[in-house]
Amino acid sequence: MADVMAFFDTCVRIGRSRAPEQAGFAPGVADLGAMMKRFNVCGAAVEHAVAFESSPRWGHDMLDRQIAGRPELRPAWHLMPDVSERIEKAVTDPDKFIRRKVALGRIDAKDFCNGSGDHACFAPVLRACQAVKLPVCLDFRRQGDFLTFDFGICGRWPEIPFVIEGFGGYPLHKLVWCLREYRNMHLSTACAGPGGHQLVPLLIDMIGHDRIIFGSNWPNQSPGMAIGHVMLSGASDEAKRAIAGGNFRWLLEGIGK
């Protein structure tokens, strides 16, 4: 497997969580590097536990220090609207994403719901993402109601590549309709649900392979499952390479262009 595909993982996390999968386990850069070597993962967009559980500002600064000197690791930032200068200040300067070499922005589905107030408060942040074509992940791993979520956000911000993560509970026919309607909508293999082993070939048949993005949800899950979904999909080597990393690298190359 390692000789065939080199993966770029868009869903990995370092840092100590409040409720770790293993008591006392706080995965660091060394642990991430060992996983990447084992599974032939050549690059990753990394989030920090502090950023999504406590403070994006502190978490992003900690992440920068911990991955410094590791060009194969790129920051994945959690995006929040303004709270206050003292607590959290939204990133509304698009050049900041470029300066800090951010590869991916993340929004928890539970934070971005359906009301006009949610759209309004996130608008300055999304405007900055759209200005530099920063990929934005809509993350349903922790919470979020697929059945009522308004994926029309993809149509309202057409220059943002949106990556939908943790979509296992969403009806397949609605998912495919959204993918056909919104060409800037992509799907992550992270947390694809119990039918994940069948989902990759189904999506390739229905919409092609060019908008499927690899993500493993490490350390909560072994990358072996997500890799298996790709490698055992029956797809061509070209399609597998695109899903493994080519599709997201193409999005990376578009940042700031």
Nearest to 105 by CA among 247, 211, 10: 10
Residue-wise pLDDT for 171-180, tens only, equals: 778 888 999 9
What is the C-alpha end-to-end distance of the chain, expressed in Å? 34
Contact assessment for residue 16 and residue 49, using Cβ atoms and an 8 Å cutoff: yes
Rounded distance between C-alpha atoms, residue 129 and residue 125, angstroms:
6
Nearest to 223 by CA among 6, 18, 4: 6
Residue-wise pLDDT for 106-139, tens only, equals: 998 877 765 555 677 889 999 999 999 999 999 8
Nearest to 111 by CA among 155, 51, 160, 158: 51
Rounded distance between C-alpha atoms, residue 138 and residue 107, angstroms:
5
Residues 6+ apart with CB under 8 A from 69: none
Rounded distance between C-alpha atoms, residue 62 and residue 70, angstroms:
14
What tokens were used for 45?
């967009």
Residues 6+ apart with CB under 8 A from 256: 97, 98, 132, 133
Nearest to 213 by CA among 168, 178, 172, 162: 162
Residue-wise pLDDT for 137-183, tens only, equals: 998 876 655 566 778 889 999 999 999 988 766 777 888 899 999 99
Domains (range + CATH), the chain: 7-254 (3.20.20.140)
pTM of the model: 0.91
